[in-house]
A and B are shown apart, each in its own frame.
Chain A
Amino acid sequence: MPHFSNKKIIVLLVGTIVLVALIGFSLRDRQNATLPEQFIKDSVGLAQSIVAKPANYITNTFQDIQSLLNTYKENQRLKTRLEDFAALQAEVNNLKSENEQLRDLLDHEESLRDYEPLRATVIARNPDQWEEKIIINKGSSHGVKKNMAVITTQGLIGKISLVTPFTSEVELLYTNNPNFRVSAVVQSEKNVAHGLIEGYDEERNELILKRIDSSLEINKGDKVVTSGLGGIFPKGILIGEITEVTTEDFGLTKMAYIKPAADFSMLEKVIIAKRSATVIDGSDGDGTDADLTNNTGIPGEGEEE
């Protein structure tokens, strides 16, 4: 039994109290980083981005080698796809021009689909990988705001969860945060089914799409995209593909497992999508009854709903 002096016990007790207070403070749902936090984040972020450059180079080489090994198989597969692609391209162009004409006719300029892309580089990934998040090198000084959608060329990966002047944190879709919901649409051949991405299955490594109307038919292999109705994300960003359809606990609605389209393991370049249409904060700004539609500078955060 080690001997503890009075002084040591007091220090230990005060330390424990401060510790619990700090953890409690940081676990709260915070809007912004405090000033010292911002300072640390920005300075570590600066050093980090210097180190990240050679590291990214190595990652690239690694990826190049990997893709080189698969070249032959991929080439075969792509050749068969190419013919379909040409036909599809023609159809898309056709539809695009038609859409534009109709839009002109209606005098309807703004679309939920439009967004301004802002390119960013990933400088770090949370090394202990419990909470899935990455840190990117663009911050509030570049116009990044909380809750903006973050995508890669393959599809949606997450949203901005915390902003400091020169860095920001992205909460990935692979999260257990129950408030992280994405309004999504299943594009099947016959109909359009709305649902919400809510949570993710850790054992299957797939996202869960819930609250789909059970009268609508959805199938394995259908593509899932964002609907833009949550008020924050732009419309039409690919999320993934359905792998299994089941009924939810009470049998009232359907739910589906979705394999994400984006590759989460080697993220390097991401695009922040700043929606052009009015952004509507999902939550009632801290219960203040603030006018959410006309006032764009509302305080308070909103989770995608």
Chain B
Amino acid sequence: MWIRLMIPLLAILLFLLEPAFALFSPIEWNGEFFYFVPRFLILYLIFLSIYYNPKRAVTYGLIFGLLYDVFYIDIIGLYTVLYPLVCYIAGWSVKYIHQHLSITTILSVLLVALMEVALYYFFRFIDFTNLPFTEFFMNRLVPSILANLLYLIMLGWAFKYLIDARVLQKIRELS
């Protein structure tokens, strides 16, 4: 029973942890500011999409994207679209890739990087920022990607373990 509950609960926990980690950022080093954007939830949802059920992942993406928009961003419709879209792409890619943990990790981080770039262009488009792309790349994208990669290397196996347990449970229920 608890494995069944763990999957949405972990999503909620990660959703709530993200802004707590954002409090550490930006970090000043050598007179430059580096931004670390925590993307814990979407990475977990990508794993869910690849190893468990793309449809479920898209639904979670929609719900949490909406919460994210309303609570943090105040632009309703931004993450509400991006989260399910990323989950959908991840679910679609399952057919073409080998589902090894390391490959999934790299794929997830790449997808998040793509999302990050899309967000940058969106915020540029609506004049929230006038940061040049090189600055964005060096001070935001690269540090965020490295931090999220580190996080996935530490916790990716745990996600896989949990999701595998749930999949096994489901098979047992069916048989």
Residues 11-48 of B contacting A (Cβ, < 8 Å): 12-13, 16-28, 33, 35, 37-38
Contacts of A265 in B (CB 8 A): 24-28
A45 within 8 A of B: yes
Among B26, B69, B70, B75, contact of A129 (Cβ-Cβ < 8 Å): B26
Return chain A residues, CB-CB under 8 Å to B8.
Answer: none
A267 to chain B, nearest CB (A): 7
Which residues on B sit within 8 Å (CB–CB) of A122?
23
A199-224 interface (Cβ within 8 A of B):
202-203, 205
Contacts of A188 in B (CB 8 A): none
Complex CA distance for A123 and B78, rounded to whole angstroms: 23
Contact A48 B16 (CB under 8 A): yes
Does B101 count as interface, using CB distance less than 8 angstroms? no
**Chain A, 9-54, CB within 8 A of any chain B CB:** 19-20, 22-23, 25-27, 37, 40-41, 44-45, 47-48, 51-52
Of the candidates B21, B23, B119, which one forms a contact with A130 in the assembled complex, judged by CB atoms under 8 Å apart? B119
Q: Indicate if A59 sits at the interface (CB-CB under 8 A).
A: yes
A266 at interface (Cβ–Cβ under 8 A)?
yes
A124 with B19, Cβ < 8 A, contacts A22-B76, A22-B77, A59-B24 known? yes
Most buried by B among A20, A125, A127, A267: A127
Q: A176: which B residues are within 8 A, CB to CB? A: 127-130
B residues in contact with A26, CB < 8 Å: 69, 74-77
Q: Is B94 an interface residue, CB under 8 A from the partner?
A: no
B76 contacts A127, C-beta separation under 8 Å = no
Is A192 an interface position by the 8 A CB rule?
no
| Chain A interface category by residue count | 35 or more
- 1/0 per position for B126-157, CB-CB distance to A under 8 A? 11111100010000100000000000000000
B23 near A125 with CB under 8 A, answer yes
The minimal Cβ–Cβ distance linking A193 to chain B, given in whole angstroms, is 28
Q: B18 to A127, Cβ gap below 8 A? A: yes
Q: What residues on A are CB-neighbors of B130 within 8 Å? A: 176, 202
B70's contact among A20, A40, A51, A267, by CB below 8 Å, is which? A40
Q: Is A162 an interface residue (CB 8 A)?
A: yes
Q: Does A131 contact B (CB under 8 A)?
A: yes
- Decide if B67 is an interface residue (CB 8 Å cutoff): yes
Give Cα A131 to B128, complex, Å.
7
Asked whether A52 lies within 8 Å of B76 as measured between CB atoms, the reply is: no
- Which among A52, A128, A162 has the greatest number of chain B C-beta atoms within 10 A? A128
Tell me the smallest distance from the CB of A149 to a CB of chain B, in Å: 21
**Mask: chain B, 50-86; 1 = CB below 8 Å from A; 0 = not:** 0000000000000000010111111111101100000
CB-based contact B76/A40 at 8 Å: no
A267 contacts which of B13, B23, B75, B128 (Cβ < 8 Å)?
B23
B123 contacts chain A at the CB level, 8 A cutoff: yes
Q: Which residues of A contact B23 (CB under 8 A)?
A: 55, 59, 122, 125, 266-268
The one of B38, B70, B74, B129 that contacts A127, using a Cβ cutoff of 8 Å: B38
| A interface residues (Cβ-Cβ under 8 A, vs B) | 19-20, 22-23, 25-27, 37, 40-41, 44-45, 47-48, 51-52, 55, 59, 62, 122-131, 135, 162, 169, 176, 202-203, 205, 264-268
Interchain residue pairs with CB less than 8 A apart (27): A19-B77, A22-B76, A26-B74, A26-B76, A26-B77, A40-B70, A41-B70, A41-B71, A44-B67, A47-B12, A48-B16, A48-B71, A62-B24, A123-B19, A124-B19, A124-B22, A126-B22, A127-B37, A127-B38, A128-B72, A129-B25, A129-B140, A131-B128, A162-B74, A176-B128, A202-B135, A265-B26
